[in-house]
């Protein structure tokens, strides 16, 4: 029985769960059909991973080819003479050389696992979630350079990390799927234009990628996750976007930032089951036993006494440890919604204490169920605030990805919690859970940059609507961008 089957079996007595588990594709299929192959390389606070995807350009469906994951805490220490330019949320020091070595390892690992070589890749997209521990834009720039250097060390040529300037630069047969003779790439990804002006939040690219990735993953379900929508990425730090239904391009009306999976990690670090300073929920191995739901709900409620979810105040430079620019958000017309524990994680020790209490009174399954309760309530509070701010309504779809949002009992509990908000008649028809959202976002980012569209199976545009190619052409003609 596959993972998706298990999910649906577990929840068959509750609401229907639309869970998009990434589908696999074998090498024989890759050789038979026109698959555009993209490698995503991401260095996060907890994991560093490379996921290779292939998109069938005839159908527009994206598949997972291979995946290779390492714990970021295992990045090698800086060598003598190497400058430490930043740290992860949990204090792991990072140098340019150490990051590039880690990136090289995971990319080569993913290629080997998929029986591929660098020559088989058509594009590589790099991203990072490790911005919470950074102090300046220069440090973030150093990270971007280090990610690129790692790809170069793995043998990726620069041409596979930059968009083509003409159809002739694309490998065959992908030139025939390229729409450069009809439109140009103007910065819009999956029908959404980025906020104007200075960067609103340090992990803004993550929000863009996961929003796009959830749109791709939702194609495996019955949920039409297009604009207007709200994406929530429960990685170690929180990322995501809220869009409106403006056409042909939607605007970003909201950004998410702060802490997410770090909240769950903090609770388990107090449990004694994982390392006190570098442990994560992923480290828990033995999960057997009976859940004490009453106790889990009690401690889930207690945890939320320390979890702050609000519009980010105008007078802060960080929220939930993540660098933010509320003034830029205001100028761009976006609402910045954050999740914190105390002030920039100051109450994390309180969550650790809750983990300790749970294990003193119960067992591991109850601890994990508490984490499910906590994530479900965070989701409800985020969506409720967006609703109160007028940027989420009954037309909106909600998409969730990331380890602290899609595992265990979280999908069922999240659907139930969102039902309490009375936004939709059937919340389950408007909510989708997607595995590997960021990697899927990398696959569509690469295609958008190279104008590789699939009008027969559109990713952009509005829910229940058609492809926006014609409207994009009209707009670009009016602006003198094309003839």
Going along the chain from its start, the domains and CATH numbers come out as: 204-439 (3.30.420.40)
Pick the range with the lowest mean pLDDT from 360-364, 408-412, 479-483: 479-483
Q: How far apart are CA 118 and CA 472, in angstroms?
A: 34
Confidence of residue 203 (pLDDT cuts 50, 70, 90): confident
In 155-234, DSSP assigns E strands to: 192-193, 229-234
CA angle, residues 219, 10, 393, in degrees to nearest 5? 50
| CA 397 from centroid of its chain's CA atoms | 16
- Check residue 121 and give its pLDDT: 96
User: For the residues 172-200, what does the mean pLDDT come to?
Assistant: 90
Pick the range with the lowest mean pLDDT from 85-89, 177-181, 216-220, 259-263: 85-89
Q: How far apart are CA 378 and CA 264, in angstroms?
A: 11
For the chain, give the mean pLDDT: 91
| pLDDT above 60 for 5 | no
User: Of residues 59 and 359, which shows the higher confidence score?
Assistant: 359
User: For the residues 6-18, what does the mean pLDDT come to?
Assistant: 58
- Check residue 477 and give its pLDDT: 94
Q: How far apart are CA 4 and CA 20, in angstroms?
A: 8
| pLDDT above 80 for 4 | no
Residues of the chain above pLDDT 90, percent: 79
Q: What predicted TM-score, i.e. pTM, was given to this entire model?
A: 0.93
Greatest Cα pair distance in the chain: 70
User: Of residues 373 and 60, which shows the higher confidence score?
Assistant: 373
User: For the residues 204-212, what does the mean pLDDT come to?
Assistant: 92
Confidence of residue 269 (pLDDT cuts 50, 70, 90): very high
Q: How far apart are CA 417 and CA 68, in angstroms?
A: 34
- Check residue 14 and give its pLDDT: 67
| pLDDT above 60 for 11 | no
| pLDDT above 90 for 392 | yes
- Check residue 202 and give its pLDDT: 79
| pLDDT above 70 for 236 | yes
| pLDDT above 90 for 31 | no
Q: How far apart are CA 74 and CA 63, in angstroms?
A: 29
User: For the residues 44-62, what does the mean pLDDT come to?
Assistant: 93
| pLDDT above 90 for 237 | yes
User: Of residues 456 and 406, which shows the higher confidence score?
Assistant: 406
Q: How far apart are CA 470 and CA 226, in angstroms?
A: 17
């Amino acid at each position: 029985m596959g993972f998706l089957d298990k999910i649906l079996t577990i929840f068959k007595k509750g609401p229907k769960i639309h869970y998009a588990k990434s589908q696999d594709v074998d090498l024989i299929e890759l050789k038979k059909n026109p698959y555009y192959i993209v490698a995503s390389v991401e260095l996060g606070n907890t994991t560093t991973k490379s996921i290779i995807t292939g998109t069938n350009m005839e159908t527009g469906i994206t598949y997972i080819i291979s995946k290779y994951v390492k714990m970021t805490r295992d990045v090698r220490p800086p060598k003598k003479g190497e400058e430490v330019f930043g740290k992860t949320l949990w204090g792991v020091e990072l140098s340019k050389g150490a990051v590039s070595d880690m990136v090289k390892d995971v990319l080569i690992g993913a290629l080997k696992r998929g029986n591929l070589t660098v020559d088989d890749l058509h594009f590589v997209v790099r991203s990072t979630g490790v911005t919470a521990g950074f102090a300046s834009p220069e440090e973030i720039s150093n990270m971007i350079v280090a990610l690129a250097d790692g790809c170069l060390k793995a043998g990726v040529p620069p041409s596979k990390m930059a968009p083509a300037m003409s159809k002739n630069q694309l490998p065959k047969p992908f030139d025939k799927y390229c729409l450069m003779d009809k439109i140009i790439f103007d910065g819009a990804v999956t029908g959404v234009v980025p906020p104007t002006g200075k960067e609103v939040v340090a992990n803004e690219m993550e929000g863009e990628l996961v929003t796009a990735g959830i749109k791709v993953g939702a194609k495996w379900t019955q949920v039409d996750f297009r604009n207007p929508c709200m994406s929530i990425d429960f990685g170690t730090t929180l990322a995501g976007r809220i869009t409106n239904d403006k056409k042909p391009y939607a605007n970003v009306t909201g950004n998410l930032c702060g802490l997410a999976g770090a909240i769950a990690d903090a609770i388990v670090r107090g449990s004694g089951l994982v390392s006190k300073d570098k442990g994560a929920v992923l480290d828990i191995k033995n999960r057997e036993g009976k859940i004490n739901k009453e106790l889990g709900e009690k401690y889930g409620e207690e945890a939320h006494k320390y979890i702050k979810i609000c519009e980010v105040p105008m007078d802060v430079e960080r929220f939930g440890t993540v660098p933010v620019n509320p003034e830029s958000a205001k100028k761009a017309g976006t609402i910045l919604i954050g999740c914190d524990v105390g002030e920039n994680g100051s109450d994390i020790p309180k969550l650790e204490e809750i983990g300790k209490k749970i294990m003193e009174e119960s067992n591991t399954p109850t601890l994990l169920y508490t984490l499910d309760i906590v994530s479900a309530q965070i989701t409800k509070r985020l969506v409720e605030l967006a609703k109160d701010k007028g940027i989420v309504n009954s037309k909106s779809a909600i998409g969730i990805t990331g380890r602290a949002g899609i595992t265990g009992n979280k999908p069922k509990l999240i659907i139930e919690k969102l039902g309490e908000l009375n936004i939709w008649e059937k919340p389950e028809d408007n909510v989708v859970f997607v595995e590997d959202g960021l990697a899927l976002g990398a696959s569509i980012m690469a295609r958008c940059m190279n104008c590789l569209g699939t009008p027969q199976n559109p990713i952009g545009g509005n829910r229940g609507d058609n492809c926006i190619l014609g409207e994009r052409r009209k707009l670009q003609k009016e602006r003198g961008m094309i003839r």
